[in-house]
Amino acid sequence: MPKTALITGASSGLGAEFARQLAATGADLVLVARDREALDRVAAKVRARYGVAVEVLPADLLKRRHLARVVARVSDAERPIDLLVNNAGFGLRLDFAANDIEDEVKHLHLHVEVPMRLSHAALGQMLPRGRGRIINVASVAGFIPRATYGACKGWLISFSRWANDRYAARGVTTTAVCPGYTHTNFHQRMGLAPGKEGVPAWMWLDARTVVAEGLRDAAHGKAVSVPSLRYRALIALTRLVPASVAIRFGERGR
Which residues are tagged catalytic? 149
Report the half-sphere exposure of 148 (CA within 13 A, side-chain side): 23
**Cβ(177)–Cβ(210) under 8 Å?**
yes
Pick from 21, 142, 2: nearest CA to 84: 2
DSSP class of residue 182 equals B
Residue 65, exposed/middle/buried by CB under 10 A (0-12, 13-18, 19+)?
exposed
3-state secondary structure of 128: helix
**Cβ(29)–Cβ(53) under 8 Å?**
yes
Tally the residues of the chain.
Answer: 254
Task: Give the Cα separation of 211 and 138 in Å (integer).
Answer: 12
Task: Give the Cα separation of 211 and 245 in Å (integer).
Answer: 30
Residue 181, exposed/middle/buried by CB under 10 A (0-12, 13-18, 19+)?
buried
Task: Give the Cα separation of 91 and 187 in Å (integer).
Answer: 8
Cα-Cα-Cα-Cα dihedral of 214, 215, 221, 222, to 10°? -10
Task: Give the Cα separation of 226 and 73 in Å (integer).
Answer: 29
